[in-house]
Structure 1
Amino acid sequence: MNEGIIIKGVGGFYYVKAEDKVIECRARGVFRKNKITPLVGDRVQIRISDEDNTGYIEKIFERKSELIRPPVANVNHALFVFAVKHPNPNLWLLDRFLLLAMKQNLDVTICFNKIDLATEDEVRELSNIYIKAGYKVITSSKITRQGINKLKETLKDKITVLAGPSGVGKSTLLNNIQPNLQLKTGEISKKTKRGKHTTRYAELLELDFGGWVVDTPGFSSLDIDFVEIEDLDSYFKDICRHSVNCKFNSCRHNKEPNCGVKEAVEKGEISRSRYENYLMFLEELEKIRRY
Structure 2
Amino acid sequence: MPEGKIIKALSGFYYVLNEEKIIQCRGRGIFRKQNITPLVGDYVEYEAENDKEGYVLSIEERKNELTRPPIANLDQAVLVFSAMEPSFSTTLLDRFLVLIESKDIEPIICITKTDLLNKVDELAHYVSNYRNIGYTVIETSSETFNGLEALGDYLKGKTSVFAGQSGVGKSSLLNAIRPDLRLKTDEISNSLGRGKHTTRHVELIPAAGGLVADTPGFSSLDFEGIEVEELSSCFPEMAERSNACKFRGCIHVNEPKCAIKKAVEDGDIPTHRYDHYLQFIEEIKERKPRY
Aligned-pair CA distance for 1:39: 0.4
> Within 5 A, what are the aligned runs for 1:149-164?
149-164=149-164
Matches of 1:230 and 1:289, distance apart in 2: 17
Q: Describe the superposition over 1:27-80 as per-residue Cα deviations: whole angstroms up to 9, x where unpaired.
A: 111101101011001111222145x83211111112122112221111111111
Matched to 2:257, the amino acid is N
Aligned-pair CA distance for 1:260: 2.3
Aligned-pair CA distance for 1:290: 6.6
Aligned to 1:3: 3
Aligned to 2:286: 287
Aligned to 1:14: 14
Matches of 2:109 and 2:162, distance apart in 1: 10
Matches of 1:258 and 1:184, distance apart in 2: 53
> Within 5 A, what are the aligned runs for 1:197-208?
197-207=197-207
Matches of 1:127 and 1:65, distance apart in 2: 28
Range 5-14 or range 256-265, more displaced: 256-265
Partner secondary structure for residue 71 of structure 2: coil
Matches of 1:39 and 1:17, distance apart in 2: 13
> Within 5 A, what are the aligned runs for 1:104-253?
104-118=103-117, 119-207=119-207, 209-219=208-218, 221-253=220-252
Matches of 1:67 and 1:290, distance apart in 2: 21
Matched to 2:108, the amino acid is T
The 1:31/1:220 distance shift into structure 2, 3 A limit, reads closer
| Residues 86 and 194, structure 2, Cα contact 8 Å, conserved in 1 | yes
The 1:19/1:111 distance shift into structure 2, 3 A limit, reads closer
Matched to 1:117, the amino acid is L
Matches of 2:187 and 2:126, distance apart in 1: 23
Q: Does 1:33 align with 2:20?
A: no
Unpaired runs of 5+ residues, structure 1, are none
Aligned-pair CA distance for 1:249: 2.5
Aligned to 1:271: 270
Matches of 1:182 and 1:264, distance apart in 2: 47
Partner secondary structure for residue 45 of structure 1: strand
Matches of 2:251 and 2:64, distance apart in 1: 29
Aligned to 1:81: 80
Aligned-pair CA distance for 1:183: 1.5
Matches of 1:59 and 1:223, distance apart in 2: 31
Partner secondary structure for residue 44 of structure 1: strand
Matches of 1:244 and 1:59, distance apart in 2: 42
| Residues 83 and 89, structure 1, Cα contact 8 Å, conserved in 2 | yes
The 1:221/1:125 distance shift into structure 2, 3 A limit, reads farther
Aligned-pair CA distance for 1:270: 1.3
Q: Describe the superposition over 1:71-111 as per-residue Cα deviations: whole angstroms up to 9, x where unpaired.
A: 11111111111011110123233222222322332222111
Matches of 2:137 and 2:61, distance apart in 1: 31
Range 122-131 or range 97-106, more displaced: 97-106
Aligned to 1:43: 43
Range 64-73 or range 99-108, more displaced: 99-108
Q: CA RMSD in A?
A: 1.9
TM-score normalised by length of structure 2: 0.92
Aligned-pair CA distance for 1:242: 3.3
| Residues 132 and 270, structure 1, Cα contact 8 Å, conserved in 2 | no
| Residues 6 and 42, structure 1, Cα contact 8 Å, conserved in 2 | yes
The 1:19/1:248 distance shift into structure 2, 3 A limit, reads closer
The 1:58/1:133 distance shift into structure 2, 3 A limit, reads same
Identity of aligned residues (%): 49
Q: Describe the superposition over 1:176-218 as per-residue Cα deviations: whole angstroms up to 9, x where unpaired.
A: 11212221112111111011111111110112x4211111113
Partner secondary structure for residue 4 of structure 1: strand
Aligned-pair CA distance for 1:125: 1.6
| Residues 69 and 222, structure 1, Cα contact 8 Å, conserved in 2 | no
Range 132-141 or range 247-256, more displaced: 247-256
Matches of 2:19 and 2:132, distance apart in 1: 44
TM-score normalised by length of structure 1: 0.92
| Residues 47 and 57, structure 1, Cα contact 8 Å, conserved in 2 | yes
The 1:53/1:203 distance shift into structure 2, 3 A limit, reads closer
Aligned-pair CA distance for 1:157: 0.7
Aligned to 1:256: 255
Q: Describe the superposition over 1:99-145 as per-residue Cα deviations: whole angstroms up to 9, x where unpaired.
A: 23223322221111111122222121221231122211111112221
